[in-house]
Structure 1
């Protein structure tokens, strides 16, 4: 069943759907009065709805039943990625959203090959946010992960101040066989607590970058014995979190 993130509901228990979602309902899915959809409010509450009316500008959906189950990870994990080449960040956002990420923070690392163009920044971030929204709808999420505009590495420490746990996925630790830090952090985390984890771009983080983060409360960890690509490592982390917090509970 199609899922849409919408504003509302109104006082009369109706959702009014406009814009791209309206176009998708009418032009792509060719729905009509009586068809059912899932509407998700800005508060993350989802409801089974029935289309009551379609006009030239909006679709009106009446609430049939509110849903009580949630498909969200019980902890909030934000992925901070050093800007990679090509469309790798789009892959991280799309698949990371499907796997339950709470948010994404791209940053410009010392070894980032791509140069961030501030003039094109708003269009790029809008595209990333759209990818996040579509992936959230496809995977039946209750929230849309926020994708932040890219920031300089120097701002990461400030961004991370509000998190309960702070980690660095560091390949040198993996090479040395480090296996305990991530496990220990997952064991300590409780429902609704937050974690931000830093991933380097192609070529990884520099020793200086890792040292700066460690001096500001970050713990470095390995992600198993294999060295993972910059677009693979965040997905490994989120899969491990799902196993730990959802399948083992």
Structure 2
């Protein structure tokens, strides 16, 4: 069943109004007619099966048929910080990362980043990236659309590390702990802190869905990170990790790292 994300204010207790590109897709592409059913989500806390009324010229009104549980989001938030790759690789990272289960994408520029964004075009680029995330979320039946942020400088990215519960920087020269071990460390630490919080404050103070553990994966450009950048990230609180013995392309590393995290946290049978 086709899925659409709509603005929260357009979804009421009894009906929904679909406008813009989504209405065009229903009317022109899907040839929707009265009685057809689709799924709509406000991307926050509500989604439902709805039945279309007769489509109008530029909007579609539909009646609520059934409210649905929102169970398709991972129990952890994974933020993908991706040094801007060449060509359309960022679009691939966002599309496939959304399908796999990323919660947020943070593009950034590092020392060996080749791409130099035009400030005048940055807004349109981010808008396109966000649209790609929305379409991928609809295809993958996500309950929400991952956020795509405006590109950050390296310094700005370092400041974001402290906002995550655990942060890892992928480094091909790392010969110590692999990502799997770091993930288990972070989960154990978070689990222990959750137990301590519950014991001290009572069961009602346990971690809620909004307090999911936040995991930041930092992926470098085609030329990789410099040793100075890795040291700076570690000083800011990140751990350098290996994704294995083989050298991965930057867009591959993002998807492999994300998949490993979700597997180890039980989202893919781990």
TM-score (norm 1): 0.93
User: 1:103-132: per-residue Cα shift (whole Å, max 9, x none)?
Assistant: 000101100111111111111111101100
Structure 1, unmatched stretches of 5+, are none
Give the equivalent residue in structure 2 for 1:6. 6
In structure 2, distance between residues paired with 1:195 and 1:146: 15
Structure 1 equivalent of residue 50 of structure 2: 49
Map of 2:268 onto structure 1: 247
* Deviation of 1:170 (Å): 1.1
Q: Does 1:238 align with 2:258?
A: yes
Which segments of structure 1 move beyond 6 Å, counting only runs of 4 or more? none
Look up the SS of the partner of 1:81 in the other structure.
strand
Is the helix fraction higher in 1 or 2?
A: 2
1:224 matches 2:244 = yes
- Cross-structure match for 1:25: 26
Aligned partners of 2:105, 2:143: CA distance in 1, in Å?
17
**1:213 is the counterpart of 2:212:** no
Structure 2 unpaired stretches of 5+: 192-208
Write the distance in 2 (CA, Å) between the matches of 1:10 and 1:156: 36
| Cα pair distance change 1:215/1:166, threshold 3 Å | same
Q: Distance in 2 between matches of 1:10 and 1:228?
A: 43
| Alpha carbons 2:70, 2:143 under 8 Å: kept | no
Q: TM-score by structure 2 length? A: 0.86
Q: Please give the secondary structure, in 2, of the residue aligned with 1:171.
A: coil
Contact 2:161–2:238 (CA under 8 A) maintained in structure 1 = no
> Equivalents in 1 of 2:92, 2:11: separation in Å?
36
Which position in structure 2 is the counterpart of 1:145? 146
Question: Matches of residues 90-239 of structure 1 in structure 2 within 5 Å?
Answer: 90-173=91-174, 176=175, 178-179=177-178, 180-189=181-190, 192-239=212-259
